[in-house]
Amino acid sequence: MTRRDFPLADAAREFVRHPSPWMIGATWAAAATARLIVGDWQITDALVPLVMIGAFPLVEWLVHVVILHWRPRRLGPVVVDTRLARDHRRHHAAPRDVPLIFIPWPTLLWLLPVVTGVALVAFPRLGLGLTFLALLTALGLGYEWCHYLIHSDYKPKSDVYRAIWRNHRRHHFKNEHYWFTVTSSGTADRLLGTCPDPATVPTSPTAKNLHVTPAR
């Protein structure tokens, strides 16, 4: 099936076959329902989303660079590595392998309870914590959908999505040292110096084999 023959409806059917959207979506539904029940709406319930949406490209960039592109390190006899970093290396090696596109469900088994705990104890009001949790999981669902769509056969139809699609595909197929944002283009990458003119960047021989020293 070519990209031209892959409509959004088919993409959505494939998307919901994987556990990550259901796990994040269930947490979002619970948080949004609880938020409506609790009530107690205040101005900070509007400010928190503004801050989170503004910061999300930076958070996305940091997670991608620091956690997903973690280079295994040896501390004495122990090699320090993580499942997320290992799976991300596999994702670079096989960017069309659909299960590798999503956040691993074993990671979500502990990550979702952790962020729920933070939402419940780290905010001065329960309602504000639930606002944070509902938006965070909505952003997480948006990330999973956008990342999946970029790696699928869906053809970009809008200029905004085309820019996002091109940005992330450059990271995978041009040079893994640049273009780290996934759900936006020219945001955190531009701010942090990882959005060069593609014409000036050499094609990396290790884009599909992270952290391997290329042969001379």
For 30, 62, 88, 92, 163, the CA distances from 172, given in Å and listed in that order, are 35, 17, 11, 6, 15
Residues 70-83: b if buried by 16+ CB within 10 A, e if exposed: beeeeeeeeeeeee
pLDDT tens digits for the chain (216 residues)? 444 578 899 999 999 999 999 999 999 999 999 999 999 999 999 999 999 999 999 999 999 999 999 999 988 889 899 999 999 999 999 999 999 999 999 999 999 999 999 999 999 999 999 999 999 999 999 999 999 999 999 999 999 999 999 999 999 999 999 999 999 998 999 999 999 999 999 999 999 999 876 655
Q: What pLDDT does 5 receive?
A: 77
Q: What pLDDT does 2 receive?
A: 47
Q: What pLDDT does 21 receive?
A: 98
3-state SS string for the chain = CCHHHCCHHHHHHHHCCCHHHHHHHHHHHHHHHHHHHHCCCCCHHHHHHHHHHHHHHHHHHHHHHHHHCCCCEEECCEEECCHHHHHHHHHHHCCCCHHHHCCCHHHHHHHHHHHHHHHHHCCCCHHHHHHHHHHHHHHHHHHHHHHHHHHCCCCCCCHHHHHHHHHHHHHHHCCCCCCCCCCCCCCHHHHCCCCCCHHHCCCCCCCCCCCCCCCC
Stated pTM of the model: 0.92
The amino acid sitting at 114 is V
Q: What pLDDT does 75 receive?
A: 87
> What phi, psi does 73 have (nearest 5°)?
-125, 140
Q: What pLDDT does 74 receive?
A: 87
Q: What pLDDT does 4 receive?
A: 58
Between CA 148 and CA 122 the distance in angstroms is: 32
Q: What pLDDT does 1 receive?
A: 43
Q: What pLDDT does 49 receive?
A: 93
